[in-house]
A and B are shown apart, each in its own frame.
Chain A
Amino acid sequence: MENIEVVVQSLPYLLQGTLVTLRIVVLALALGLCMGLPLAIGQVYGSAPVQKLVKTYVWIFRGLPNLVLLFLFFFGIFPSLRIDASAFSTAVVVLGLRSAAYQSQIFRGSILSLGEGQVLAARSLGMSKLQAIIWIILPQALRIALPGWSNEYPILLTDSSVTYAIGVLEILTRANLVVSRTYKPMPIFLTCAIIFILLNYGGMRLLHMIENKMRIPGYGNGER
């Protein structure tokens, strides 16, 4: 009974952390999208040096642990550049840069799956490469990428808890504070776990709904 009391009392505090977590996730996803898409376009349509650059970026940001990146930026890079970044901003930047690396590969896959025909047809009508990419390739590639892209959400959600290490006041950090006050680790952490599972489930439902809304009749069934 005591356990439940403790949980109920700390719930508001924890739920405030949920907002922080969600903010981190949404911002990081957005940053990842804004960078990932150009990276993918660069890797598919860019010149050889551009492709190499993108591949190197992807290699670095997919190969490094979150923790190392967070420490590197928070204690190392930002201070040495005299940037006074908060833990929250650092978290968003690091998770965003990382997500961009993964997202770029998802988009790259979906762009490549369209085949060269679409661009050929667009250019034969007089469109420039850029016009073809914006009006013909992207609308299709983004739709195709949606299922794979949705996977980034749970990944970023779990990654957000690692930002505890640099002191971001998200769910885990708050949980620890509560635990150090109440000495009831298991119930508190379990509650956190359940919060995350619910956030996961809710987010995925939302994304599935969006996926269904954007569906084009018969799309994705074979070559045309």
Chain B
Amino acid sequence: MSDKTKDIILRVEDIHKSYSGVEVLRGISFTVRKGETKVFIGPSGTGKSTLLRCINQLTIPDSGQIWLHGEEVTHSKKSINVLRQKMGMVFQNFYLFDHLTALRNVEIALLKVKGMDKKHAREKAMLELERVGMAAFADHYPTQLSGGQAQRVSIARALAMDPDVMLFDEPTSALDPELIGEVLEVMRNLAKGGMTMLVVTHEMGFACSVANEIMFMEEGRILESGSPDKLLNTPQYERTRQFLRKLMDLYGELGKSNE
């Protein structure tokens, strides 16, 4: 293995997935290196969420393979639960556990899945909550939190498992505009801190300032991929330019990205 491949955390090869006769993913392949942030953009329904869920096997792809740290995930004999611990996922609708406080939400997987003792689990959970700026809300229930706060807690919950890669499935799409900023801030800091991230989003400002590579997906395929600079200024396909333009119109200009 060359030096380059030693660094690869995630490798996805030729993923196909159909739902009721409609092929949603038509052969997706890419690799992710440690510390990279890859952003997936594209029209709705192009299978971006499905792709993320195939990676942590919440959805089983019809064909194709996925490797995490050189270990195969798709046909692994190892319990999928062990592999899922290494991949953190943040959902559009947060899916916090409504019957638990913020602190308990972050704790529970540490206790039940990792088998940590209460003291360490609590410490770790508080640490993660602080990391996302939600330490003061530790005893609040999900229904007592705003959207942005809830989403930050769900990020903390995923981070607590010390994953190797974080998967974000449109993390800000369900939030009111004023609340988006606080979540993007957390994500920016994560990326700066060296976390490997796969993000599905419409937030172009974020994408351009944080992504190492933007993947434009359309009709189940990666139409084009490249650095933010390249895609914006010298895209290969006209479709790419059109779509990026539309996103910029809807979600604000690039200038704002460097705030």
Q: Direct contact between A and B in the complex (CB less than 8 angstroms)? A: yes
Whole-angstrom CA separation of A3 from B161 in the bound complex: 73
Chain A positions 208 through 224: 1 when the CB is less than 8 Å from some CB of chain B, otherwise 0: 00000000111101111
CB distance from B122 to the nearest CB of A (A): 17
Which of the residues B96, B99, B108, B154 comes within 8 Å of A216, measured between beta carbons? B99
CB atoms of B98 and A140 under 8 A apart: yes
CB atoms of A216 and B98 under 8 A apart: yes
> Chain B's interface: helix, strand, loop or mixed, by majority?
mixed
Interface membership of B112, Cβ < 8 A: yes
CB-CB under 8 A from A128, the residues of chain B are: 79, 81
Whole-angstrom CA separation of A127 from B85 in the bound complex: 9
CB atoms of B84 and A139 under 8 A apart: no
Q: Which of A139, A216, A224 has the most CB of B within 10 A?
A: A224
Interface membership of A165, Cβ < 8 A: no
CB atoms of A127 and B98 under 8 A apart: no
Whole-angstrom CA separation of A126 from B97 in the bound complex: 15
CB-CB under 8 A from B88, the residues of chain A are: 124-125
Which of the residues A121, A140, A222 comes within 8 Å of B154, measured between beta carbons? A121
Interface membership of A158, Cβ < 8 A: no
CB-CB under 8 A from B84, the residues of chain A are: 123-126
CB atoms of B158 and A124 under 8 A apart: yes
Interface membership of B157, Cβ < 8 A: yes
CB-CB under 8 A from B91, the residues of chain A are: 117, 120-121, 124
Q: Which of A122, A124, A139 has the most CB of B within 10 A?
A: A124
CB atoms of A224 and B144 under 8 A apart: no
CB-CB under 8 A from B108, the residues of chain A are: 135-136
Nearest to B174 among chain A residues (CB) is A223
CB distance from B106 to the nearest CB of A (A): 10
CB-CB under 8 A from A143, the residues of chain B are: 99
Check A139/B150 contact, CB under 8 A, given A117-B91, A217-B143, A221-B143: no
Interface membership of A56, Cβ < 8 A: no
Give 9 CB contacts A-B under 8 Å: A121-B91, A123-B81, A136-B108, A140-B99, A216-B141, A217-B144, A218-B141, A224-B96, A224-B150
Write the residues of chain A forming the contact surface with B, with a CB cutoff of 8 angstroms: 117-118, 120-128, 131, 135-136, 139-140, 143, 216-219, 221-224
Write the residues of chain B forming the contact surface with A, with a CB cutoff of 8 angstroms: 56, 58, 79, 81-82, 84-85, 87-89, 91, 93-99, 108-109, 112-113, 141-144, 150, 154, 157-158, 161
Q: Identify 14 new A-B residue pairs, CB closer than 8 A, beyond the known A123-B81, A124-B88, A219-B99.
A: A117-B91, A117-B95, A120-B91, A121-B154, A125-B157, A126-B82, A126-B161, A128-B81, A140-B99, A216-B98, A217-B143, A217-B144, A221-B143, A223-B93
